[in-house]
Structure 1
Amino acid sequence: MHRLSKAAALLILAGFAGSSQPPLIPDDQAVIRVDTRLVVLHCAVVDKKGGLITNLPQSAFKVYENKVEQPIRLFRREDVPVSLGIVIDNSGSMRDKRARVEAAAVKLVKASNPQDEVFVVNFNDEAYLDVPFTSDITKLEEGVARIDSRGGTALRDAVSMSIDYLKQEGKKDKKVLLVITDGNDTASAGMTLEKLVEKIHRSEVLVYGIGILGKEDARDRKRAMRAIDAMTRASGGASYYPGEVAEVEQIAEQVAHDIRNQYVIAYSPLNQNLDGTFRSIRVVAANGRYSVRTRSGYYATPEPAKRASR
């Protein structure tokens, strides 16, 4: 089940304000009960050339859950601040690419919303949280620059750890990961790709991936692309495969632009049963004239009632 964003929750509570029943139940539990749950989507709309379309009205969109059209309850176009994680491959094969990747990470942050909070995870055989959440550019530059590239590639473990950190410590409703790697996973301990994709669906984290795969052989390149694409498609992000490492900085700016120019759409599922099943999601814009990137689905699981702060 989707956890309501603050904006969506406030919208619901505002609707209660004009009714005879107060939104807070005045008992020892102090529980806020919301009878109708919402699923909130962050949607990027692109034309055939990949250009972002940012001026569509709500009437241009249709949302489908398990192929059934759903009623849209909330719609806005807004540059909202995000909790952002930059996950950087630090394996031995990245040694000659690190300078460009470091510059790209800094450029991404500088092109992002000033209210964003950012952390950095470097990974090789293991994943390391080198910079906890901060908005300090200097700390970020130091964090991405101080590690010596060596070892293997525990990509799935690093993404899994980063999702956990985002969910536990991220203060913004919108949560994003940018993963930069140059090869296939060779060192993850127990996190399979299938488990990771399920975790992404449950987390609602938006994942972007940059695969610098020019020197990989055909088989390893295919495996690496499969992993990156699976993560980004599940979440509604995007995958990029530059021909040269010099292109990474420009791609980082493109990712920042993409994050800041998305639609927020919330719908109330016609099927309100919390049966734990996976519900597929598809969003159509302008009768299919444009492509829409958003998460491919969610698990309809119950969540604890929200308790009012004392």
Structure 2
Amino acid sequence: MAIRPNRLALAAFSVGLALILGLAPRVTAQEDKPLRLDVKLVSLFVNVTDQKGAIIGGLTKDDFKITEDGRPQTIQVFERQSEMPLNLTLAIDTSSSTYKDRYIEQQAAKKFVGALIRSQDQMNVLQFATYVTELTGFTNSVSKIDHGLDGLRGAGGTALYDAIYLGSQALGKKDGRKVLVLVSDGGDTVKGTTYPEALEQALRNEVMIYSIIDVPIEASPGRDIGGEHALITLSEQTGGKHFYIDAGGLDKAFAQVSDDLRTQYMIGYYPHNQEPGRPFHRIDITIPRASAEAFNIRHKTGYYADPQKARD
């Protein structure tokens, strides 16, 4: 008995053979198209002040020069006093050493929130002592944030680096500017997240850290200089800033943070001519027309290009 070939099978075989031999014109046309790579825009929020701390406004894109790992980059995006939405985590130290300042922290923080938060902004509130606790999820409701601040409680140790790690992770899921404001007397006394892990998490999630350092007695021999230095360095590395609570109190420190956030330049570029194999790319921004001593330029020091490894 003769087997009659199936017409559908023959048609499928013919199409497959044409594809293998490169006879299908549509496939060939697609293969001729240039390969496009999705290069991520690197966004930088930059503050420029003079030697007395006064804000420098009126700069243009042409005033700035950017290098990545020493290689010049082309600025593609430039905005002054960016109106980009602000995502902010307010993390307050409620360990035993800060107990006496609890009420002052609550009231000053409420004033800060009321003056800063706009309809397009989002804020959450964390407290950290031995553990890190979220008091308010991300919201633009001032009343909800105030209610969370009324719940400040705590005692025991200081999980500072845990607060930075967890706060940065939460901010990393948001779009727009990401800012972590820390209120602490410095020093991490809980065995958990390390300083390098906290800093890496902030940089990976593009978080700027603003440290408000509460030092009751500046000349006290019991001051945790190491903790203060860590807060200062974290702020510098991420493009934020540190403030001491001085004669103006916490109200003044919060006002300085608010002013700083409202006077930033947003600069963006698409990296090119990168050195392959680098997990971390270091960024430098200069204003060539000015002398090296004329301006203070603050921005994050770089970014991670490699995927993050899971933490044990």
TM-score over 0.5 for the alignment?
Answer: yes
- Cα offsets for 1:173-225 (capped at 9, x unmatched): 211110000231111x3211122112222111111001102347446431111
Q: State whether residues 280 and 306 of structure 2, in contact with CA within 8 Å, keep that contact through their aligned partners in structure 1.
A: no
CA deviation after TM superposition for structure 1 residue 54, in Å: 2.2
- For 1:72-151, what aligned pairs fall within 5 Å after superposition? 72-77=75-80, 78-114=82-118, 115-151=120-156
- Look up the match of 1:164: 169
- Look up the match of 1:153: 158
- Look up the match of 1:61: 64
The letter of the residue matching 1:233 is E
Q: State whether residues 80 and 113 of structure 1, in contact with CA within 8 Å, keep that contact through their aligned partners in structure 2.
A: no
Structure 2: runs of 5 or more not aligned:
1-35
CA deviation after TM superposition for structure 1 residue 166, in Å: 1.4
Distance in 2 of aligned mates of 1:183 and 1:36: 38
Distance in 2 of aligned mates of 1:281 and 1:272: 12
- Look up the match of 1:257: 259
The 3 A distance-change label for structure 1 pair 144 and 274 is: farther
- Cα offsets for 1:137-190 (capped at 9, x unmatched): 11111211223341111100111111111123x3x3211110000231111x32
- Look up the match of 1:22: none
187, 205, 208: which one aligns with 1:203: 205
- Cα offsets for 1:6-45 (capped at 9, x unmatched): xxxxxxxxxxxxxxxxxxxxxxxxxxx6544321101011
- For 1:1-310, what aligned pairs fall within 5 Å after superposition? 35-77=38-80, 78-114=82-118, 115-168=120-173, 170=174, 172-187=175-190, 189-215=191-217, 217-218=220-221, 220-244=223-247, 247-272=249-274, 275-285=277-287, 286-287=289-290, 288=292, 289-301=294-306
Q: State whether residues 210 and 242 of structure 2, in contact with CA within 8 Å, keep that contact through their aligned partners in structure 1.
A: yes
Q: State whether residues 54 and 262 of structure 1, in contact with CA within 8 Å, keep that contact through their aligned partners in structure 2.
A: no
Structure 1: runs of 5 or more not aligned:
1-32, 304-310
The 3 A distance-change label for structure 1 pair 146 and 190 is: closer
Shift >6 Å, 4+ stretches: none
Question: Aligned to 1:111, what secondary structure does the other structure show?
Answer: helix
Pick the structure with greater CA Rg.
2
- Identity of counterpart residues, as a percentage? 32
Q: State whether residues 82 and 174 of structure 1, in contact with CA within 8 Å, keep that contact through their aligned partners in structure 2.
A: yes
Q: Given the two structures, how large is their TM-score scaled by the length of structure 2?
A: 0.80
The 3 A distance-change label for structure 1 pair 271 and 200 is: farther
Distance in 1 of aligned mates of 2:117 and 2:146: 17
Distance in 1 of aligned mates of 2:276 and 2:112: 38
Report how many aligned residue pairs link the two structures.
269
Q: State whether residues 42 and 263 of structure 1, in contact with CA within 8 Å, keep that contact through their aligned partners in structure 2.
A: yes
Give the aligned CA root-mean-square deviation in angstroms. 2.3
Q: State whether residues 87 and 180 of structure 1, in contact with CA within 8 Å, keep that contact through their aligned partners in structure 2.
A: yes
Q: State whether residues 112 and 260 of structure 1, in contact with CA within 8 Å, keep that contact through their aligned partners in structure 2.
A: no
Q: State whether residues 107 and 253 of structure 1, in contact with CA within 8 Å, keep that contact through their aligned partners in structure 2.
A: no
